[in-house]
Amino acid sequence: MAPPGTSLRAEFPPPHYWRRWCADAPEAVLPASEETPVAEAPLPQVLPQGESGDAPYRVLIVEDDPSQALFAETVLAGTGMQARVVGISSEVMAAMDAFRPDLVLTDLHMPGLNGTEITTLIRADARFANTPIVFLTGDPDPETQFEVLQVGADDFLTKPVRPRHLIAAVESRVRRARTLERQRSGEGRHPVTGLYTRTAMLQRLGAAIPDQSRGALYFVEIENTTALRDRFGYVALEGALADTGRYVGQLAGEHLVSRLNDNTFVVYAADVEGAAQDAFARTLRDGVGRHELAIDGQRLRLRALVGYASLQENFRDASSALAAAEQALREARRLPVGVAAHRPPEAALVEADADRVVMIHDALMNDRFELAFQPIVAVAGGEEAQYQTLLRLRDQEGGVHTAAEVLPAAEAVGVLHEIDRKVLELAIKVLDQRAGENRPVRLFVSQSPLSLTRDGYAAALLETLSGTRIDGPSLVIDVRQDEALVHAVALQEFCNAMVPAGVQLCLSQYSAGAESDALLARMPLGFMRLAARYSSRLGESAVRDEMRAAIERAHRLGLQVIGQQVEDPQAAATLWISGVDYIQGNLVQHAAGGLDFDFQNSVL
């Protein structure tokens, strides 16, 4: 009790003090007198936290201003979160080790270490490679913010921030991080469908498939989900796919089943052999087709496509087997029966152009691969030089062949990763040379996820970069969306390995959809390149609206957007109005062998 005649004062604000700023806060109730304050009932916690039984969210606040630290600590503590304050930047790692936070909320400018150094320090510790880092700052300089995002920060909140916005930003990122951590740790089965989680399935495949010569791996894809989503909505479609997943699990019996992405399931049948493999594929296809389900009161049956790979091919790892099953699924999409088996490289080689295969092997042995470059120009102008690298193969007669002519045959005969390695070596050589000349350039280099996820590929890339003069952000790895969706988990691991070096990832051929949007939020991307259809169909209002929504979504996630295959000024103007950051295409310049484009004086 305070002595009579003195005013009441709290050293720390009471619980829920933060709600005085909120739109839904109750009206203030003044006490009857200073001596006899009216006790108020505790305010309810307005934002739920985690799943039932979850430990409270832990937030480390790195802030040297005591008033700002107290504000953030009180706001978060008012919702039941555990918050700890560090006021000295050099003590951050000790606090990380002792507190093991779910999220770091830090000021951008601290005495000692700045925001970039703090982020780099945290990300260098493998234990905290996936811990969300959010900056709370009043610094309006976008270049400073971009620099910190480049080295691994997740988001910025601009001061002054409303308490509800702070809570929502922290809670959503912690919830997502915990979900991803549960998936990475391989916890059991999905609570709704009873199927294995994707990570749990991948872990089991990783342990079972090397040198496995029995069984088969199946991809089961549900057709026409986009049309169903447009007609019934995402929630109704998700319910239908969950129901279908449970039924696929029943069809598979004792075999392992997991939902790979929005409309695709993977089945690992370890003891199905010979002719029974094709029969089992048809059982899965026909079973899904006979299963009747209800969407918004309407009775429907869905059609399934099935691609499978026999493990008699002795795949070296789970990624190779999954890629083979996915390739078979692409073939099933073209067949009326909707079922296809993967053909091993030997079978594919019989049908491949023998001359082209010989040409590829000759190019690998005699270094006949080259790079062409196409400028990527900022719509707002600027001097930053950056190019898309394009593969070229020069044959013995001097003829030049494009990637589209080479890569399908290279994949068929199993040398795609060797070509990817050659392309990366050429790009790194160019980057190192330009850095030595003090003429830095950024290169976007296309790579197959099959190459990026090979054992030792990431480590070899990091070792190569360490021996050069290259600034990490100068290299951007370009991955196609359709391939990234299949290999999302393995790509996540590759990206995490690249973060300390500053190497970024660009999701190429982006096309809007629930599956692709989830990938944008999950992957540590720096850039997104729109699919060519957006540039070629800008006259359609539905396409323009979809593109604008996609650009806004990417910008909210901190990504920069590239419009590609821009052929005319009208398309460039529409893309500019829609908010893209960069433009690439023949309107700017055709692909060429040099890096002589004048970015300083370019006008779109």
Pick the CATH number of 17-28+48-184 from 3.40.50.2300, 3.30.365.10, 1.20.1250.20, 3.30.70.20: 3.40.50.2300
Q: Residue by residue, what is the 3-state secondary structure of 61-80?
A: EECCCHHHHHHHHHHHHCCC
Q: Are strands 339-341 and 304-310 parallel, antiparallel or unpaired?
A: parallel
What per-residue confidence (pLDDT) applies to 96? 93
What per-residue confidence (pLDDT) applies to 318? 82
Which residues on adjacent β-strands are paired with residue 149? none
Cβ neighbours of 174 (radius 10 Å): 22
- Contact between 363 and 393 under an 8 Å Cβ cutoff? The reply is yes
Q: In whole angstroms, what is the distance from residue 465 CA to residue 249 CA?
A: 46
Cβ neighbours of 367 (radius 10 Å): 11
- Nearest in space to 444 (alpha carbons), one of 377, 499, 369, 517: 377
Query: In terms of DSSP H, where are the helices of 114-233?
Result: 115-123, 142-150, 163-184, 198-208, 225-232
Look at residue 292 and give its three-state secondary structure.
strand
Residues of 570-596 as b/e, b for ≥16 C-beta within 10 angstroms?
ebbebbbebbbbbbbbebbbebeeebe
* 111-152 pLDDT, tens digit each: 888 878 888 889 888 788 889 999 887 777 777 777 777 777
The domain segmentation of the chain, as residue ranges, is 17-28+48-184, 198-342, 372-583
Q: In whole angstroms, what is the distance from residue 473 CA to residue 532 CA?
A: 25
Q: In whole angstroms, what is the distance from residue 215 CA to residue 276 CA?
A: 10
- CA 151 vs. chain centroid, Å, equals 16
Q: Residue by residue, what is the 3-state secondary structure of 15-34?
A: CCHHHHHCCCCCCCCCCCCC
* Pair of tokens at residue 430: 């160019």
- Contact between 559 and 526 under an 8 Å Cβ cutoff? The reply is yes
Q: In whole angstroms, what is the distance from residue 202 CA to residue 208 CA?
A: 10
What per-residue confidence (pLDDT) applies to 178? 81
- In angstroms, the first-to-last Cα distance of the chain is 72
CA 96, 99, 102 angle in degrees (round to 5)? 80
Q: Are strands 560-563 and 369-375 parallel, antiparallel or unpaired?
A: unpaired
Pick the CATH number of 198-342 from 3.90.1420.10, 3.30.450.40, 2.60.40.60, 3.30.70.270: 3.30.70.270
- Contact between 315 and 321 under an 8 Å Cβ cutoff? The reply is yes
Look at residue 228 and give its three-state secondary structure.
helix
Measured between alpha carbons, how far is residue 345 from residues 170, 327, 350, 418 in Å? 49, 12, 9, 15
Q: In whole angstroms, what is the distance from residue 445 CA to residue 387 CA?
A: 9
Look at residue 125 and give its three-state secondary structure.
coil
Q: In whole angstroms, what is the distance from residue 114 CA to residue 110 CA?
A: 5
**Domain 372-583: assigned CATH number:** 3.20.20.450
Q: Residue by residue, what is the 3-state secondary structure of 130-153?
A: CCCEEEEECCCCHHHHHHHHHCCC
Q: In whole angstroms, what is the distance from residue 487 CA to residue 575 CA?
A: 30
What per-residue confidence (pLDDT) applies to 519? 82
Q: Which residues of the chain have pLDDT under 70?
A: 1-54, 182-188, 211, 345-353, 601-604
Amino acid at 456: G
What is the signed CA dihedral for 551, 552, 558, 560, rounded to 10 degrees?
A: 20
Q: In whole angstroms, what is the distance from residue 21 CA to residue 163 CA?
A: 7
Q: In whole angstroms, what is the distance from residue 481 CA to residue 488 CA?
A: 10
* Pair of tokens at residue 483: 């391939």
What per-residue confidence (pLDDT) applies to 314? 81
* 428-480 pLDDT, tens digit each: 999 999 999 999 999 999 999 888 888 788 889 999 998 898 887 899 999 99
Sheet strands (E) in 152-302: 155-158, 216-222, 256-261, 264-269, 292-295, 298-301
Q: In whole angstroms, what is the distance from residue 189 CA to residue 171 CA?
A: 24
Cβ neighbours of 183 (radius 10 Å): 17
Q: Could you write out the DSSP letters of every residue in 465-524? A: HHTS---GGGEEEEEEHHHHHHTHHHHHHHHHHHGGGT-EEEEEEE--SHHHHHHHHHS-
Q: Are strands 304-310 and 442-446 parallel, antiparallel or unpaired?
A: unpaired
What per-residue confidence (pLDDT) applies to 49? 44
Q: In whole angstroms, what is the distance from residue 285 CA to residue 308 CA?
A: 12
Q: Phi, psi (5° rounding) for residue 294?
A: -115, 130
Measured between alpha carbons, how far is residue 449 from residues 235, 259, 505 in Å? 31, 20, 12
